[in-house]
């Protein structure tokens, strides 16, 4: 009986959140350990299906770095990185697109459909969903020299999101699952960071939430304790002080840009936890770091 009552209390706690997010769009960046562990993969699919059944519109954008690395090694193509980004020449781009679009995307779609959902796989090339241009990196040279231009090959940045295909799928109650490959004006494909694609899509759709699944608890303070909530202004101060550093900075910047474009809230959560999305969305305490727009007087 105690177990049954506990389950009932969980449902009651979730009720106001279910009501608040009905008919709202939630963009989830799916990556990290949650894409590798079989039980977590199943939990992720069930979380997405549940969201759809209760009237929320989830949009999934996925990564696939480890899977790409595995195929590159098999094909004896060496990888190199600059500022954490994979240098993507033509042969590497062929592998990136093959793995992300042809393998990882279809596996996620298949998993959701197997467990009772209705998912459709896309890349940014489909319906010109994600338009892109070549990303240019400038490295600071000596004081008396101009900045060095670093060529990352076919690494892109989002220039425009065309939501028509997503709106069509939404009207038919399908769940979009998107591989982070964009298309340039010349029709060439570009490898784009999945966080950035998720943020751009969330901004274009004016999503209620952007959720980034990671392999860390969230944003931590100097003592290693989770920061449950912060404003964009507080995030800036933590970056300037050095408390937020390394790979967390681009994730924070992605969230800030999405919030500035009209996304309701952004969340960085630990995808290694079972049902992480549901715990963050439908419980009062949550499990990760929530980022909100800075107050007007901040």
Total length of the chain: 298
User: What architecture is domain 24-292?
Assistant: 3-Layer(aba) Sandwich (3.40)
Per-residue pLDDT for 152 more than 70?
Answer: yes
Proportion of the chain above pLDDT 90, given as a percent:
62
Mean pLDDT of 1-26: 80
CA dihedral 31, 126, 156, 218 (to 10 degrees): -20
What per-residue confidence (pLDDT) applies to 125? 93
CA–CA dist 268, 32 (Å, integer)? 12
**CA dihedral angle for residue 198, residue 80, residue 182, residue 68, rounded to 10 degrees:** -80
State both tokens at 235.
Answer: 């995030």
| The dihedral formed by the CA atoms of 269, 41, 277 and 295, expressed in degrees to the nearest 10 | 40
How many Å apart are CA 50 and CA 11, to the nearest integer?
Answer: 13
pLDDT, tens digit, for every residue of 235-266? 999 999 989 988 888 899 999 999 999 999 99
For the residues 267-291, what does the mean pLDDT come to? 90
Smallest Cα–Cα separation from 104: which of 34, 162, 39?
34
Domains of the chain, residue spans = 24-292
219: CB partners within 8 A, 6+ apart = 226, 227, 230, 235, 238, 244, 248, 252, 268, 289
Average pLDDT of every residue of the chain: 89
Residue 298 pLDDT = 42
> Does residue 14 surpass a pLDDT of 60?
yes
CA dist., res. 122 & res. 28, Å (int): 15
Q: Are strands 130-134 and 156-161 parallel, antiparallel or unpaired?
A: antiparallel
Please, what's the b/e burial string for 19-32 (b: 16 or more CB within 10 A of its CB; e: otherwise)?
eebeebbbbbbbbb
**pLDDT (average), residues 64-93:** 87
- pLDDT beyond 50 at 96: yes
The C-alpha atoms of residue 258 and residue 267 are separated, in whole angstroms, by 11
pLDDT at res. 297: 44
Give the pLDDT mean for 267-279.
92
pLDDT, tens digit, for every residue of 102-128? Answer: 999 999 999 999 999 999 999 999 999
Q: Taking 70 as the threshold, does the pLDDT of residue 2 lie above it? A: no
Q: How far apart are the C-alpha atoms of 269 and 121, rounded to whole Å? A: 24
Check whether 88 has a pLDDT greater than 80: yes
Over range 56-72, report the average pLDDT: 92
- For the cut 80, the answer to whether the pLDDT of residue 296 exceeds it is no
Sequential DSSP letters for the chain: -HHHHHHHHHHHHHHHHHHHHTT-EEEEEE-GGGGTSHHHHHHHHHHHHHHHHTT-EEEEEE--HHHHHHHHHHTT----EETTEE-B-HHHHHHHHIIIIIIIHHHHHHHHHHTT--EEEEETTGGG-EEEEE--EEE---TTSPPEEE--BSBEEEEEE-THHHHHHHHTT-EEEEESEEE-TTS-EEE--HHHHHHHHHHHHT-SEEEEEESSSS-B-TTS-B--EEEHHHHHHHHHHTSS-TTHHHHHHHHHHHHHTT-SEEEEEETTSTTHHHHHHHSSS-SSEEEEPPPTT-
């Amino acid at each position: 009986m105690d177990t049954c009552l506990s389950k009932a209390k969980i449902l009651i706690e979730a009720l106001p959140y279910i009501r608040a997010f009905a008919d709202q769009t939630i963009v989830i960046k799916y990556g990290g350990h949650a894409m590798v562990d079989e039980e977590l993969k199943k939990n992720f699919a069930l979380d997405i299906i549940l969201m759809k059944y209760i009237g929320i519109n989830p949009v999934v954008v996925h990564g696939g770095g480890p899977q790409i690395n595995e195929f590159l090694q098999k094909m004896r193509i060496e990888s190199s990185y600059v500022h954490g980004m994979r240098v993507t020449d033509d042969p590497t781009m062929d592998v990136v697109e093959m793995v992300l679009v042809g393998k990882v995307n279809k596996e996620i779609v298949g998993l959701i459909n197997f467990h009772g959902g209705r998912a459709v796989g896309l890349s940014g090339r489909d319906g010109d969903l994600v338009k892109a241009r070549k990303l240019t990196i400038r490295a600071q040279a000596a004081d008396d020299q101009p900045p060095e231009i670093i060529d990352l090959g076919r690494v892109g940045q989002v220039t425009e999101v065309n939501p028509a295909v997503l709106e069509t799928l939404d009207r038919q109650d399908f769940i979009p699952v998107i591989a982070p490959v964009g298309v340039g004006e010349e029709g060439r494909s570009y490898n784009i960071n999945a966080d950035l694609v998720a943020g751009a899509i969330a901004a274009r759709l004016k999503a209620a939430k952007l959720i980034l699944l990671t392999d860390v608890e969230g944003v931590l303070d100097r003592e290693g304790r989770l920061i449950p909530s912060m404003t964009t202004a507080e995030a800036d101060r933590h970056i300037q002080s050095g408390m937020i550093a390394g790979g967390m900075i681009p994730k924070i910047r992605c969230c800030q840009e999405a919030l500035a474009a009209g996304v309701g809230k952004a969340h960085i959560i630990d995808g290694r936890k079972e049902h992480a999305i549901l715990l963050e969305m439908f419980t009062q305490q949550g499990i990760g770091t929530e980022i909100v727009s800075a107050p007007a007087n901040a």
